Amino acid sequence: MRTRQRIVVLFLGAAFCCQAETLRLNPEGQWQNLANDPQGQYILAMSDVKQKLSSGDKGEALKALKKLKTDFQDMAGPDLDAYIEAETLYAKRNWSKATRKLQAFVKAWPESPFYTSANERLFSIGTAFLQGQKRQVLWVLWLPAFDEGVNIMRDIADRAGTGPMGLRALTVLAETYEKKNRYPEAYEVWSEVSDKWPTGETGEKALLRMAQCLHAAYKGPYYDASWLVSAKAYYEDYRNRYPNKAAQSKTDETIGLIVEQQAYKNYNIAQYYDKTDHPLAANLYYQYVLDSWPNSRSARMTEQAQQEGYRHPKTVRRRVFNAGNKFLDSGFGIGLLFGKMKED
């Protein structure tokens, strides 16, 4: 019985494939073969053009567009003419002019059947510019076009909103900033992604990348440490919201590293004040390390410094430096000036 059922299903499937037609509902609510009327033929031709546009063969796509215009002159509108002009520039790799034409196209004809294709072309140009492709100026000059690529991706993201194309544009932009070690800019873009897509896989990825970018923006103990504070907060948020993913990405270890970096930053400041004969300031920072990060390696180094005595002995160089400062103050009359002010 089951064998017979399989034979019937296969037979019906084969018959359906042999007699398959492309159908649509006409205004009267009846199914009609697309190939039987001019409008249906135009729709089929349009489908073929879109396939060629997405195939990546610029030459074939341009031929198909021109053939569409020739075969369906009564149906083709000004949007087709505008798109052919932009596609011609794209095929010639004149991407700066193609960008202007495509951006004008998507603003003028948002309902055009070529709107999605125009966006894909803009995305392709923007990606190339971000990756280092230069733009031609005055037919002979080739100049960097990174900023132009940024503007293209921003324009796509603004028009697409929370659509898939908007996410693609922002993701490429953020990842490009990361590759160029421009972590603050990458963080800003990931933050925008997080605002638009706060949940799901995208929200989880954006939150982690925000934390990573802020952490990577910290340049070391001689630079601003506010990046560490923000990075730690984002990593902790990530750990609370996605504990399993946090375990896989070793978030706890990263937070531990940030703690050590924060402690060492302040220990380094204490060392500076210690070496420059500012014991009060040095002691304040040493104590801050002990109070804030008692389990850190810097805290252990501070305890050792306590045992050895904080202050470094004044060297001959330090005495000469201090004497020089006093001499300069007196020489320029600064001491006399302040003394006169006190007497008044």
Which tens digit of pLDDT belongs to each residue from 177-214?
999 999 999 999 999 999 999 999 999 999 999 999 99
Structure tokens at 31: 């199914």
Are residues 186 and 203 in contact, defined by beta-carbon separation less than 8 angstroms? no
Task: Give the pLDDT of residue 94.
Answer: 87
Task: Give the pLDDT of residue 201.
Answer: 96
Burial class for 153, CB neighbours closer than 10 Å (0-12, 13-18, 19+): buried
Q: What is the pTM of this model?
A: 0.74
CA distances from 66 to 37, 54, 75, 80 (A): 21, 16, 13, 9
Taking 3-state DSSP, the helix, strand and coil percentages for the chain, each rounded to the nearest 5, stand at 75, 5, 20
Residues 326, 110: Cα–Cα separation, whole Å: 74
Residues 271, 267: Cα–Cα separation, whole Å: 6
Looking at domain 38-158+168-174, its CATH architecture is Alpha Horseshoe (1.25)
- Count of C-beta atoms within a 10 Å radius of residue 42: 18
Residues 174, 263: Cα–Cα separation, whole Å: 30
Residues 103, 152: Cα–Cα separation, whole Å: 9
343: enclosing H helix or E strand: helix 334-343
Task: Give the pLDDT of residue 174.
Answer: 98
The pair phi, psi for residue 131, each rounded to 5°, is: -85, 0
Task: Give the pLDDT of residue 141.
Answer: 60
Q: Provide Rg for the chain, Cα atoms.
A: 34
Residues 55, 63: Cα–Cα separation, whole Å: 13
Task: Please state the domain extents for the chain.
Answer: 38-158+168-174, 181-249, 262-332
All residue ranges of the chain with pLDDT < 70 are 1-46, 49, 55-57, 74-75, 136-142, 310-344
Residues 159, 175: Cα–Cα separation, whole Å: 20
Task: Give the pLDDT of residue 45.
Answer: 65
Q: What does the pLDDT look like over 83-119, one tens digit per residue?
A: 889 888 888 888 889 999 999 999 999 998 889 989 9
